[in-house]
Amino acid sequence: MRFKKYNLDKKILIGKKIQKLCKDKKVKFIVNDDPWLAKKLDADGCHLGQKDMNIKDARKIIGNKIIGITCHNSIKLAQQAIKKKASYLAFGAFSKTKTKKVKFRASTKVLNKIKILTNIPLVAIGGINSKNYKNLLLNNANFLAISGYIWNNKKYNPKKAVEMLK
C-alpha cells in the first residue's frame, strides 16, 4: 500500500479494506514507508526507502514481519541491508516511470551481482510493463512491483493489464 498524499485516517480506512482483500486472496500486504501504520493495520510487513526509518527501529515496531529495503542500483546499499537482515531487497527504477521521480536507474547487472551474494528475494521496481518484465525475471528478479502499468495504463483496464503479464 503506497499512498503518499493521504492523511492517516484515510490510509487506515483504505488499508483495512486492502488488508481484508489481501487475506481473502492469500496475498501479502506490505505498507510503504510506515512501520507504525503497518502495525496498526496488522500488515504482513513494510517497505522502507533510504530516507525512511532504519530497519532496526522498524523491527522494534513490527517484530519479525517482512521488511524490504530500497537499494536503488547500489551493491553497497544491498550489502548493508543484507547485514541488517532485510527480508527483501528492492532495486529500481529499471525504466522510465511516472509513478514517482527517480534519481537512480537500475540495471539487470546489479540483480545478477547481488544474487551471487545472497538468496534474499530481489524485487524490481519502476517502469515495469508487459514488454520488459520477462527480462527482469530472467535476470534474478524474484518479484516485480508493477503499479503504473496496471493502474495508469491508457490502453488497458487494470484487469486486462494484469492479464497481459501472464
Pair (85, 28) in one structural domain: no
Q: Is residue 95 part of a domain?
A: yes
CATH of the domain at 157: 3.20.20.70
How many whole angstroms separate alpha carbon 7 and alpha carbon 12?
Answer: 9
**100 or 132, higher pLDDT:** 132
Pair (27, 106) in one structural domain: no
Which cell numbers in the block locate residue 93? 527504477
Number of domains in the chain: 2
Q: Which of 61, 25, 56 is nearest to 41 (CA)?
A: 61
Q: Is residue 59 part of a domain?
A: no
CB atoms within 10 A of CB 104: 15
Asked whether the predicted pLDDT for residue 120 surpasses 70, the reply is yes
Q: Is residue 146 part of a domain?
A: yes
Q: Is residue 92 part of a domain?
A: yes
pLDDT at 5: 85
pTM, two decimal places: 0.90
For 18-33, the pLDDT digits (tens) are 999 999 999 999 999 9
Q: Which residue segment(s) compose the domain that 108 sits in?
A: 65-166
